[in-house]
Amino acid sequence: MNKQFLPVSKKEMKSRGWNQVDFVYVIGDAYVDHHSFGPAIISRVLESYGYRVGIIAQPDWKKDDSITVFGEPRLGFLISAGNMDTMVNHYTVTKKHRREDAYSPGGQMGKRPDRACIVYGNLIRKTYKHTPIIIGGIEASLRRLAHYDYWSNSVKRSILLDSGADLISYGMGEKSIVEIADALNSGIDVKDIQFVRGTVFKAKNLDAVYEYEMLPDYETIKASKTRFAESFYMQYCNTDPFTAKPLVEKYKEKEYIVQNPPAYPLTQQEMDDVYELPYMGTYHPMYESMGGIPAIKELKFSLTSNRGCFGGCNFCALTFHQGRIVQTRSHKSIIDEAKKLVNEPDFKGYINDVGGPTANFRFPACKKQLKHGVCKNKQCLFPKPCDNLTVDHQDYLKLLDSLKKLPGVKKVFIRSGIRFDYLMQDKNDAFLKALCKDHISGQLRVAPEHISNNVLSLMGKPRNEVYEAFIKKYKKVNSLVKKEQYVVPYLMSSHPGSTLKEAVELAEYVRDMGYMPEQVQDFYPTPGTISTCMYYTGLNPKTMEPVYVPRSFKEKAMQRALIQYRNPDNYDLVLEALKAAHRMDLVGFGPNCLIRPRKMSQDKSFTAHKSQKQNRNGRKPSVQKNTNNNAKSRPKKKTIRNTHKKK
C-alpha cells in the first residue's frame, strides 16, 4: 500500500472506507507529516496500533463548526498546540507580536490562538460535552501543574483545569498515548484512567493514589513566592521515571490534580520503530499554493539521532519534557532513513544535521541510569563533570563516517548544539578533528551563554575557563587539519544573577573578540525551567538563596544593547547602562572603550569621569575634542562577522 497523509476531511476519511475516526487530532501547527513534529509521531504511532486518526490542523477557533469536520470521534479528541508553545510562537521576550510563524502556511502569523490548548479544549467541549479530550505537546506538558505565566505575570492553574480536558499526556507521549487509547477502546471511562505513566488527571479524592508527595496547594503558592519555589523544586526532583513519585496539587475541596511518574525511556528498538513509521516527510500538499511550511526547510534533510539531555542547563525545559536520560536510534535505522533522503527529488547532497537536543550525546550519562535512574540532587556535567560520566564519541564518529560514505551524499553537517564541556572530557581528539575537517562549514555554533562565572553558575553552565580552553583546542585542531574556521558563540543577556556589572563584563569580552554577535537571546521566562522560577521568585530553588533578577524591559534592553554595543541604534542604551554601572571609563577613544562620546562638552558624566581620572594622575583636567585630528587614536571599525579567527 502506498504511503499517504492521514485524512484531513470527511471526504478523505470516506475514501478510506471509514465511517468514523477513533481520534480527531486538533493541532495548532499546519499539518506536517515529519518525525520532527510531535503530532506526526503521535498520530502515526496510533495508526501503527490500528487506530484511525483524522487531522484538523489550525482550525478557525472563532467558528464552532471548525472542529466538527469528522463529527464525533469514537474514542476522543487529541489536542496539541504544536511544536512550539503558542505564547513563545506569538510574542517576543518584550511581549511584542512576532511577524512570522514558521509552522504556518507561507509563514503567516495569526493562524492559531494564544494558549491554543485552552482555546481548542473549550471549543470542543462546547459541542461535545462528554467526549474524552487528551492534551499533549510542549505547551500542555510544561503547564501540567500550577506554573508562573510570564505573559500575564501571574501564577496560573494546571492547564488541565482551564482547558476542560480530561487528561494530559506529558513528555514524549508514544507510550502513554497507546495506553490511553487501549484503555478507552476497552470501555474504561476516561475519568477512571488514573494509572498511566506520563499522564496527569483530575481527582475528587486520593483513594486510588499511593505513595504520593503532596505539593503546596494552589492558593498557597499563588500567595507565597517562597512556597512556589519549594513546590517547583519538588517537581524538578520528580522528573526521573525510575525514582519519581506521584505528585498531588490541591485546588479546592475535592479538587486535586495528580501527576503520575514519567513514562519510561524508549529502548533503542522502540526508538527505531517510532522513527521508521510511514511518514510522508513533508507538509500536506494543500499548503503548496500558500507557500508551503517554512519550518520544514531545515528539518526535511536532517536526521534525529537522539532525544533527552543530561546537560542540565537551568534555562532549558528539556528536563521537564524529554528528561535527562539520553535515548538513541540505531545506526541502521538512521542510515536507512538517509538512503531514503538521497532519493528525494529535491535532495542536493547535503544532510543538514545528525543530532538532537545535544548532538554529541549518544549514550546515557552513565551505565546506572537505565537501571536506577538519574541522580536526584546531582548533575552530570555541572558544576564539573561527574566521575562516573561516560565520555566516548567513537559511536557518533562511526555513524557520521557511515553517512558521509553513502552514494549521493556530499556533506554531513552537525548543526545541533555541541556540548563543548563534554567534548573537553574526551582524551581522544578524533571527534573534534572529524568535526573540524568534515562536518562544519566555516563556523561552529556553541553556547557558552555568558562569561561571568557567577551568572554561569546560575545558568548551570561550565565556568568560562572551560570555554576558553575549548577555543584554544579548536584553533589548534583547525590548524592541524589546515582549515580557517570560526566559532559563533550564542550569548544570553538578562539571565537571573546578571547585574549591569556582569553585562558590562560580557560587553568587554565581546569587544576583545573583535566582532558583534548577530545572535543574542534575552532570557525568556518560559514554564518548566529553574531559571524561570528564579525570575519569578528571586530565589534559587535549589538553595533558596536570593538571586538578583533584571525584570524591567529597560534594564533588559540595556543588557542586550551592551552585547551589541557596535550597533549605532543601541548607543543611547549603552551610554545609559555604562553610566548606571559607573563604567564611564568605557566611553572615549582608547582601544578599550566601547563607545565614543558624542558631545563631550555637554556630557557632564563623561567630563566628570575624565576630570577625576586626570586629577588622580596629577594632570590638568581637559576635554578631548572629537575632530579629524584625533582620527589616528580611534579604534578601526571591524567588519569581521565571526570570532576566534585563526592567527
Domains assigned to the chain: 10-200 (3.40.50.280), 484-647 (no CATH)
Least confident of 30-34, 154-158, 368-372, 551-555: 368-372
pLDDT of 274 strictly over 80: yes
Write down the pLDDT at residue 377. Answer: 83
Residue 243 banded pLDDT, cuts 50, 70, 90: very high
DSSP classification of residue 388: T
> What's this model's pTM, rounded to 2 decimal places?
0.90
Reported in sequence order, the residue ranges of 50-178 that DSSP labels E, i.e. its strands, are: 53-57, 76-80, 133-136, 147-149, 154-156, 167-169
Q: What is the predicted pLDDT for the residue at 514?
A: 83
Identify the pLDDT of residue 109. 97
State the Cα–Cα distance between residues 458 and 235, nearest whole angstrom: 19
Q: What is the pLDDT of residue 606?
A: 52
**What mean pLDDT do residues 40-57 have?**
98
State the pairing for strand pair 23-27/255-259: unpaired
Using an 8 Å Cβ cutoff, are 30 and 105 in contact? Answer: yes
Using an 8 Å Cβ cutoff, are 13 and 54 in contact? Answer: yes
pLDDT higher than 50, residue 96? yes
At 441 the pLDDT is: 87
pLDDT in tens, 598-626: 865 445 555 445 444 444 333 333 333 33
Note the pLDDT of residue 635. Answer: 39
Q: How confident is the model at residue 517 (pLDDT cuts 50, 70, 90)?
A: confident
Amino acid occupying residue 553: F
Cα–Cα distance list, 584 to 562, 576, 603 (Å):
13, 10, 11
Q: What is the mean pLDDT of residues 581-588?
A: 97
Give the pLDDT score at 1.
54
Question: What is residue 519's predicted lDDT score, i.e. its pLDDT?
Answer: 74
pLDDT, one tens digit per residue, over 172-224 is 999 999 999 999 999 999 999 999 999 999 999 999 999 999 999 999 999 99
Q: What is the pLDDT of residues 319-340, one digit of tens each?
A: 999 999 999 999 999 999 999 9
| Tens digits of residue pLDDT in 348-366 | 999 999 999 999 999 999 9
Give pLDDT, residue 515: 78
